[in-house]
């Protein structure tokens, strides 16, 4: 009796209420006594009825309505059918399936499920960015209907092969099982690992990719923000948007970009046939960044899912910095204090000049408290020791711990001439190193750590290297601040500020989730041998008591409706 709790049953049960109300309202029709109905009868063209006969007729009408509703309730709660096999449906939920194709897929599934018997099992696997079991093997009923209704598309490509593998795994133990792939493009038979009883497939959507149709579509294939290369400050960023079209002619689109409630730009852009165009827009400040395109040439745009992309541009706070300076020590032979290095002083000033307010300066031989280590965003290490925070982006000055795998050598004045500066890198934005004097430095030696690259090279080798990513990002500076005029130059605090900005996440690239280019372009799969096409299900009227009852109920309801409204119909 599980069907008693089925939503369809309860909804259909609700139909009883209006039927009863309608009956009661009709029963409550006011009776007016008139001297004679002779003339009225001539006008009404109706045969006068005896009260009793009329009441019996209404009672029969009510009975018919109730039987009709009851029958429909029963039929809707238990879909009829006799087939007892297992069906595993792989539904493509990639971006190109959005709109009509996914609706068509739902309809196809509903018809197919309706034709299955109560002993059959239905499973649904969705193929989006990842394959996902949307419905484990389940008998036809409300759960299946619900799963079908919940099918929605994703802004991604379809992991069809993975989904087919899961589907074949689910159906492996069933005695009679079929895998049916529902997609808008043909699927290669090689997607199945089976040698026999390959899956069948259903092509849906008028715009089915690979069907040879000329599809007009426009879409945003990428949206990201980054610090502008020529930015004057860290707040100045740029949004980069790529718009592509699958059309065979040049398309014109209206492109708008909103940051929060403010429209940053709204302009017309031309997209070459089967190509793409990249737009750069300067932005400033935090907020939700929404890029939207609409066809501006009156032509069709097949997908709406790819016409909008958004990301959250967050406000950037200055990082919490821990600076580890060399421990003050005395010369054991003379007992005098060693000359104090000026580097920590200049570096600290430069850090504070970059906007950092939360700066902890400790000696290398001290211990950093756990709370300070936890809130540390960036470490500046002038000397290695137990105080050095781990697993945070670090700016090394003349220090190269083993974990960054950087090999160095010390060079003297003759080998410290500046050879090259990578000015296009954000770390060196606004940093002028011309005529720098360096008496002593360390340079990196080959091989350089994987993923690292040099930004400043002296005659003897790289003196500024960056590498790593995320919490393991690092910047290494080999120039000795005590033996160079670097720290005295205006470029130094700018350089330190760039380092703080990059390591502290200020210059990170924020990327929006967009529909992949292949989906926007409706790129067809390379299909050598396509899967066989599954037979289209038809609405069937299986021979069953419930269906007969339902049909009888529907007949009675129609009869009652005709009796009620026939005069109005005939008048109209």
Residues that bind other proteins (CB under 8 A): 28-51, 54, 567-568, 571
DSSP line for 406-471: --EEEE-GGG--EEEE-TTSGGGTT---TT--BSSEEEE-SSPPTT-EEEEEETTEEEEEEE--GG
d(CA 109, CA 107): 5
Query: Closer to other proteins at the Cβ: 41 or 267?
Result: 41
Distance spanning both ends of the chain, measured CA to CA: 46
Query: Closer to other proteins at the Cβ: 62 or 411?
Result: 62
* Least spacing, CB of residue 555 vs other proteins, in Å: 23
* Least spacing, CB of residue 67 vs other proteins, in Å: 23
* Nearest CA-CA partner of 324 in 398, 279, 267, 388: 388
Q: What is the 3-state secondary structure (H, E, C) of 116-137?
A: ECCCCEEEEEEECCCEEEEEEE
d(CA 481, CA 491): 13
* Least spacing, CB of residue 15 vs other proteins, in Å: 23
Query: Closer to other proteins at the Cβ: 189 or 563?
Result: 563
Starting at the earlier edge strand, list the strands of the sheet with 251-259.
262-271, 251-259, 287-295, 308-313
d(CA 103, CA 174): 29
* Least spacing, CB of residue 30 vs other proteins, in Å: 5
Q: Structure tokens of 12? A: 């259909």
- Burial per residue of 512-544, b for 16 or more beta-carbon CB atoms within 10 angstroms, e otherwise: bebbbbbbbbbbebeeeebbeebeebeeeeeee
* Nearest CA-CA partner of 202 in 172, 182, 188, 174: 182
Which 8-state DSSP code applies to residue 176?
S
Query: Closer to other proteins at the Cβ: 35 or 212?
Result: 35
* Least spacing, CB of residue 53 vs other proteins, in Å: 9
Query: Closer to other proteins at the Cβ: 41 or 150?
Result: 41
- Is residue 534 within 8 Å of 202, Cβ to Cβ? yes
* Residue 110, CB-side half-sphere exposure with 13 Å CA sphere: 14
- φ and ψ of 122, to 5 deg: -125, 130
* Least spacing, CB of residue 554 vs other proteins, in Å: 24
* Least spacing, CB of residue 25 vs other proteins, in Å: 10
* Least spacing, CB of residue 16 vs other proteins, in Å: 24
- Is residue 364 within 8 Å of 384, Cβ to Cβ? yes
* Least spacing, CB of residue 48 vs other proteins, in Å: 4
Overall size of the chain counted in residues: 572
- Is residue 112 within 8 Å of 537, Cβ to Cβ? yes
Q: Structure tokens of 194? A: 């089976």
Query: Closer to other proteins at the Cβ: 42 or 446?
Result: 42
Query: Closer to other proteins at the Cβ: 33 or 339?
Result: 33
Query: Closer to other proteins at the Cβ: 50 or 334?
Result: 50
Query: Closer to other proteins at the Cβ: 31 or 370?
Result: 31
* Residue 314 CB burial class (10 angstroms; 0-12, 13-18, ≥19): exposed
- φ and ψ of 105, to 5 deg: -65, -40
Query: Closer to other proteins at the Cβ: 45 or 538?
Result: 45
* Least spacing, CB of residue 34 vs other proteins, in Å: 5
Query: Closer to other proteins at the Cβ: 43 or 332?
Result: 43
Query: Closer to other proteins at the Cβ: 55 or 230?
Result: 55
Show Cβ contacts of residue 497 under 8 Å, excluding neighbours closer than 6 positions.
Answer: 234, 350, 353, 354, 355
d(CA 151, CA 300): 25
* Least spacing, CB of residue 309 vs other proteins, in Å: 55
Radius of gyration of the chain (CA): 37
* Least spacing, CB of residue 31 vs other proteins, in Å: 5
Q: Structure tokens of 211? A: 């069907």
Query: Closer to other proteins at the Cβ: 35 or 335?
Result: 35
d(CA 521, CA 525): 12
* Least spacing, CB of residue 312 vs other proteins, in Å: 59
d(CA 123, CA 132): 11
* Least spacing, CB of residue 572 vs other proteins, in Å: 10
Query: Closer to other proteins at the Cβ: 36 or 469?
Result: 36
């Amino acid at each position: 009796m599980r069907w008693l709790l089925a939503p369809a049953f309860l909804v259909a049960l609700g139909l009883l209420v209006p039927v009863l109300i309608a009956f009661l309202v009709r029963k409550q029709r006011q009776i007016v006594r008139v001297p004679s109905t002779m003339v009225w009868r001539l006008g009404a063209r109706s045969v006068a009825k005896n009260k009793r006969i009329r009441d019996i007729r209404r009672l029969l009408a009510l009975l018919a309505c109730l039987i009709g509703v009851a029958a429909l309730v029963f039929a809707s709660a238990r879909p009829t059918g006799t087939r007892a096999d297992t069906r595993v449906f792989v539904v493509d939920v990639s971006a190109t399936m959005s709109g009509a194709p996914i609706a068509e897929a739902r309809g196809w599934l509903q018809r197919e499920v309706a034709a299955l018997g109560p002993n059959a099992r239905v499973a649904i696997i969705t193929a989006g960015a990842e394959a996902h079991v949307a419905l484990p093997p389940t008998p036809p009923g409300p759960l299946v209907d619900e799963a079908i209704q919940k099918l929605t598309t994703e802004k991604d490509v379809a992991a069809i092969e993975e989904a087919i593998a899961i589907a074949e795994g689910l159906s492996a133990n069933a005695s009679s099982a079929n895998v049916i792939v529902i997609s808008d493009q043909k699927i290669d038979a090689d997607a199945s690992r089976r040698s026999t009883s390959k899956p069948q497939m259903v092509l849906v959507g008028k715009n089915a990719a690979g069907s040879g149709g000329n599809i007009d579509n426009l879409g945003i294939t990428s949206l990201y923000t980054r610090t502008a290369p020529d930015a004057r400050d860290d707040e100045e960023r740029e949004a980069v948007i790529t718009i592509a079209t699958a059309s065979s002619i040049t398309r014109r689109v209206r492109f708008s970009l909103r940051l929060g409630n403010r429209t940053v730009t709204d302009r017309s852009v031309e997209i070459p046939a089967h190509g793409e165009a990249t737009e750069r827009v300067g932005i400033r400040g935090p907020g939700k960044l929404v890029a939207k395109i609409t066809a501006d040439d009156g032509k069709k745009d097949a997908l709406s899912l790819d016409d909008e992309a958004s990301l959250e541009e967050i406000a950037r706070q200055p990082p919490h910095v821990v600076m580890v300076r060399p421990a003050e020590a005395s010369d054991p032979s003379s007992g005098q204090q060693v000359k104090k290095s000026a580097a920590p002083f200049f570096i600290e000033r430069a850090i504070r000049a970059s906007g950092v307010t939360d700066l902890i300066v400790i000696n290398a031989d001290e211990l950093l408290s756990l709370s300070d280590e936890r809130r540390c965003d960036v470490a500046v290490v002038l000397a290695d020791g137990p105080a050095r925070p781990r697993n945070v982006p670090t700016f090394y000055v003349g220090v190269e711990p083993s974990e960054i795998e950087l090999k160095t050598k010390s060079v003297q004045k003759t080998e410290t001439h500046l050879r090259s500066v990578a000015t296009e890198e954000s770390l060196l934005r606004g940093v002028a190193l011309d005529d720098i004097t360096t008496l002593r430095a360390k340079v990196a030696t080959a091989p350089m750590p994987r993923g690292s690259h040099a930004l400043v090279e002296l005659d003897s080798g790289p003196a500024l290297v960056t590498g790593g990513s995320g919490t393991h990002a690092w910047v290494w500076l080999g120039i000795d601040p005590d033996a160079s005029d670097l720290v005295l130059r205006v470029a130094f605090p700018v350089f330190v500020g760039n380092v703080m900005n990059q390591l502290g996440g200020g210059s990170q690239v924020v990327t929006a989730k967009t529909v992949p280019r292949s989906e926007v372009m409706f790129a067809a799969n390379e299909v050598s041998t396509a899967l066989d096409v599954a037979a289209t299900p038809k609405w069937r009227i299986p021979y069953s008591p419930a269906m007969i009852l339902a049909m009888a109920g529907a007949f009675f309801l129609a009869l009652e409706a005709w009796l009620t409204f026939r005069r109005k119909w005939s008048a109209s």
